[in-house]
C-alpha cells in the first residue's frame, strides 16, 4: 500500500516565518499560508507571487539541492515558467535543511484536465523538451531510475505485473519485451526533467503555463522525458508533441519506441503504488490505454 511518507520535521507557518525573518527579512511580513504538500516538500504560499518550499523528509534534501544548483541556469530563457529558486535558504538551528523561495505559479495541473483537452499544450511542451534536452556535464545529478537503460526496469515491471493490479495484463506482457529490447541510447547523456507526467505540468487558458517538480533532474536517455507523449496526451496530442520535438531536432524511431516503453513502465508503477491515491490510479489506467493504443 503506497501511503504518503510521513514528514520527519513538523513544518509550520510560525517556523517558516522565522526562517524568512532570519534569511529573507524583506519577505517576512508577506501573507503566508500552507499550500498542498507533496511527498517530498512542504509548500507555503508567500504573498501573491511567491512560495516557500522546504524538504519534509531527509530523502528530499538532495533533490532540492539539485534544483537550487542547476535549475536557474537550465531553464533561463526557455519561455515556460518553472520553480527555479529565487532565494536559497541555508540550513540553520531553526531548520537543519536547505529551503527555497520560488515563484508561485497559477493554473491547474494537467492531471485535472481531461486528456483530450490537454492537446493545446502539446506544442508548447514539445518545444520545452526540445530546448531543455542538451548534453549534460559529467557532474550532472545521477538518478538510478531515470535516464538509465530501459532494460534495467524489466525486473520492476515484471514484479508489478505479478501483483495482479495491472489491467490488460496479457497485452502488457506481450508488448513490454518488444519495447524493452529496443536498442539502447548511444548518444551523450542528455539533461532530463525525469518526471514529465500530468501532475508536474501546469495549464492555464488551455496552454502550458509551467513545468514543475524537477526533483528527479538527471542526465541520460532522452526517451525518459519523451515518454510524456503517452503519459500526458491522447493520440492527437501525442502527434502534435512528437512533431514539435522532431521539428526542433529529429528523434530516431528507436528513441520513440523506448519512450513508449518508459511510459509503459511508469504506468505500471502508478497502477501498483497508488492504493491511497485514486487519482494516481486513474492516471495509470489512462496512460496504459494510451500506450497500448500505440
- Dump pLDDT digits (tens) for 127-139: 999 999 999 999 9
The pLDDT, as a whole number, for residue 37 is 74
Q: Cα(165)–Cα(272) distance, rounded to whole angstroms? A: 6
Q: What is the mean pLDDT of residues 232-253?
A: 97
Lowest average pLDDT, out of 1-5, 29-33, 93-97, goes to 1-5
Q: Which residue spans within the chain are E strands per DSSP?
A: 32-35, 41-46, 50-55, 87-89, 99-103, 108-109, 190-192, 201-204, 207-211, 218-220
The pLDDT, as a whole number, for residue 1 is 36
The Cβ of residue 242 has, within 10 Å, a number of other Cβ atoms equal to: 18
Q: Which grid cell is 6?
A: 510521513
The pLDDT, as a whole number, for residue 36 is 78
The fold for domain 13-103 equals Phosphorylase Kinase; domain 1 (3.30.200)
Q: Cα(75)–Cα(53) distance, rounded to whole angstroms? A: 18
The pLDDT, as a whole number, for residue 279 is 80
Q: What is the mean pLDDT of residues 218-226?
A: 98
**pLDDT tier, 4 (very low <50, low <70, confident <90, very high otherwise):** low
More confident: 274 or 193: 193
pLDDT > 80? residue 34: yes
Average pLDDT, the chain: 94
More confident: 57 or 2: 57
Q: Cα(228)–Cα(149) distance, rounded to whole angstroms? A: 17
Q: Exposure pattern of 185-199 as b/e (b: 16+ CB <10 Å)?
A: beeebbbbbbbbbbb
Query: What are the boundaries of each domain within the chain?
Result: 13-103, 108-293
Residue 221: which residues within 8 A CB-CB, separation 6 or more?
A: 147, 148, 149, 150, 184, 185, 190, 192, 255, 258
CA atoms within 13 A on the CB side of 72: 11
The pLDDT, as a whole number, for residue 281 is 86
Q: What is the mean pLDDT of residues 56-64?
A: 93
Lowest average pLDDT, out of 3-7, 73-77, 99-103, 236-240, goes to 3-7
Q: What is the CATH number of domain 108-293?
A: 3.90.1200.10
Tens-place pLDDT, residues 156-205: 999 999 998 899 999 999 999 999 999 999 999 999 999 999 999 999 99
Q: What is the mean pLDDT of residues 283-293?
A: 95
The pLDDT, as a whole number, for residue 274 is 65
CA-derived radius of gyration, the chain = 19
CA atoms within 13 A on the CB side of 194: 22
Cut 0.85: pTM above it: yes
Q: Which grid cell is 265?
A: 513502465
The pLDDT, as a whole number, for residue 260 is 98
**pLDDT tier, 206 (very low <50, low <70, confident <90, very high otherwise):** confident
Tens-place pLDDT, residues 144-158: 999 999 999 999 999
Amino acid at each position: 500500500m503506497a501511503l504518503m511518507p510521513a514528514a520527519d520535521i513538523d513544518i509550520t507557518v510560525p517556523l517558516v516565518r522565522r526562517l524568512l525573518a532570519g534569511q529573507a527579512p524583506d519577505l517576512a511580513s508577506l501573507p503566508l499560508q500552507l499550500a498542498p504538500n507533496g511527498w517530498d516538500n512542504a509548500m507555503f504560499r508567500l504573498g501573491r507571487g511567491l512560495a516557500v518550499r522546504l524538504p519534509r523528509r531527509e530523502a528530499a534534501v538532495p533533490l532540492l539541492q539539485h534544483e537550487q544548483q542547476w535549475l536557474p541556469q537550465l531553464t533561463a530563457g526557455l519561455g515556460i515558467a518553472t520553480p527555479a529558486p529565487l532565494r536559497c535558504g541555508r540550513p540553520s538551528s531553526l531548520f537543519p535543511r536547505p529551503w527555497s523561495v520560488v515563484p508561485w505559479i497559477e493554473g491547474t495541473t494537467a492531471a485535472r484536465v481531461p486528456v483530450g483537452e490537454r492537446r493545446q499544450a502539446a506544442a508548447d511542451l514539445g518545444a520545452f523538451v526540445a530546448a531543455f534536452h542538451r548534453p549534460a556535464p559529467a557532474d550532472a545529478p545521477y538518478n538510478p531510475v531515470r535516464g538509465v537503460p530501459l532494460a534495467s526496469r524489466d525486473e520492476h515491471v515484471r514484479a508489478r505485473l505479478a501483483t495482479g493490479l495491472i489491467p490488460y495484463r496479457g497485452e502488457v506482457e506481450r508488448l513490454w519485451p518488444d519495447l524493452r529490447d529496443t536498442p539502447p541510447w548511444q548518444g551523450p547523456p542528455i539533461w532530463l526533467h525525469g518526471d514529465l507526467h500530468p501532475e508536474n505540468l501546469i495549464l492555464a487558458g488551455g496552454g502550458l503555463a509551467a513545468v514543475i517538480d524537477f526533483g528527479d533532474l538527471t542526465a541520460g536517455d532522452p526517451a525518459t522525458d519523451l515518454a510524456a507523449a503517452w503519459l500526458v496526451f491522447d493520440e492527437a496530442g501525442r502527434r502534435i508533441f512528437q512533431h514539435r520535438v522532431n521539428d526542433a531536432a529529429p528523434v530516431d524511431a528507436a528513441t520513440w519506441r523506448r519512450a513508449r516503453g518508459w511510459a509503459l513502465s511508469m504506468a505500471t508503477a502508478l497502477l501498483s503504488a497508488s492504493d491511497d491515491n485514486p487519482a494516481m490510479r486513474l492516471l495509470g489506467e489512462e496512460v496504459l490505454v494510451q500506450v497500448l493504443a500505440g
